[in-house]
């Protein structure tokens, strides 16, 4: 089968999953009374933990305009799910915090649709690890092409050391922040402790990560 034909099949499959996810997001939005953007902002604030983000951080992370973020945040404040507090780094600016009710709504918003968790059960450990590697490659490329906003990936983190271990003592990778080996399956797609590495460092880490994958596939 031609490579293009396979690519078309894969992209068609991805498109179907994307449609199902969009439909689930709108269904959930109708049920919860929140728009998908409002749900994403709640999930984003929750993921920041104690680091209360600003409105602009939410816009950047979700790839939406500041105006769209501002309208959605205004609605969340009006619903009593989010409050604005002084930013600890700049008292003149305000940061976003979830109320109790907002924490509950965020937990609901961050739950995966049941159809996806059911489908994930079909994958065994090796398939999940392979899937994670493929996702990382996709996200890395989309990020490099400017199609999605930068994600907080291990591979682009200043604390990440690719292929730092032989594998006998865990690894093969290493997180310098927690000073511990990282297995491939432990690589994070959205780590709150992520610190962006300099571009040449991130590129070297990516090359090392990709080389190992190529060696494993050959």
Assess 136 for contact with ligand SF4 (CB under 6 A).
Answer: no
> Which region, judged by CB under 6 A, interacts with ligand SF4, from 11-19, 44-52, 120-128, 189-197?
189-197
Q: Among 98, 194, 206, 209, which residue interacts with ligand SF4 (rule: CB under 6 A)?
A: 194
Q: Is 34 in the site for ligand SF4 (CB under 6 A)?
A: no
C-alpha to C-alpha distance for 75 and 86, rounded to whole angstroms: 19
Shortest Cβ 164–ligand SF4 spacing (Å): 11
State how far the Cα of 150 lies from the Cα of 135, in Å rounded to an integer.
14
The verdict on 139 binding ligand SF4 (CB under 6 A) reads: no
Spatial separation of the C-alpha atoms in residues 166 and 173, rounded to whole Å: 9
Work out which of 79, 159, 165, 212 binds ligand SF4, going by CB under 6 A.
159
Nearer to ligand SF4, 122 or 200 (CB): 200
User: How far out from the chain centre does Cα 198 lie?
Assistant: 20
Q: Total residues at the site for ligand SF4 (CB under 6 A)?
A: 10
Exposure pattern of 41-54 as b/e (b: 16+ CB <10 Å)?
Answer: bbbbbbbbeeebbb
The per-residue DSSP string of 174-189 comes to EETTTTEEE-GGG--S
Question: Looking at 67-75, 88-96, 109-117, 157-165, which segment touches ligand SF4 (CB under 6 A)?
Answer: 157-165
d(CA 50, CA 110): 17
Candidates 26, 193, 207, 211: give the one binding ligand SF4 (CB under 6 A): 193
- Cβ within 8 Å of residue 135, ≥6 positions away: 189
Binding site for ligand SF4 (CB under 6 A): 154, 157, 159-160, 175, 177, 188, 191, 193-194
């Amino acid at each position: 089968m031609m490579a293009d034909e396979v690519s078309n099949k894969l992209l068609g499959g991805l498109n179907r999953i994307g449609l199902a996810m969009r439909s689930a997001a709108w269904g959930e939005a109708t049920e919860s009374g929140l728009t998908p953007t409002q749900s994403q902002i709640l999930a984003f604030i929750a993921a920041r933990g104690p680091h209360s983000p600003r409105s602009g951080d939410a816009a950047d992370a979700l790839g939406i305009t500041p105006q769209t973020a501002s309208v959605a945040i205004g609605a969340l404040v009006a619903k009593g799910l989010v409050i604005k507090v002084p930013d600890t780094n700049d008292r003149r600016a305000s940061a976003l915090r979830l109320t109790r009710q907002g924490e509950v709504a965020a937990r609901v918003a961050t739950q995966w649709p049941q159809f996806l968790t059911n489908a994930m059960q079909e994958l065994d450990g090796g398939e999940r690890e392979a899937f994670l590697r493929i996702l990382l490659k996709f996200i890395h490329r989309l990020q490099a092409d400017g199609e999605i906003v930068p994600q907080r990936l291990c591979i682009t983190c200043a604390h990440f050391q690719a292929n730092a271990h032989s594998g006998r003592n865990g690894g093969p990778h290493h997180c310098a922040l927690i000073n511990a080996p990282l297995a491939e399956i432990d690589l994070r797609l959205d780590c709150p402790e992520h610190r962006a590495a300099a571009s040449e460092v991130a590129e070297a880490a990516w090359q090392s990560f990709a080389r190992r994958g190529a060696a494993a596939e050959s």
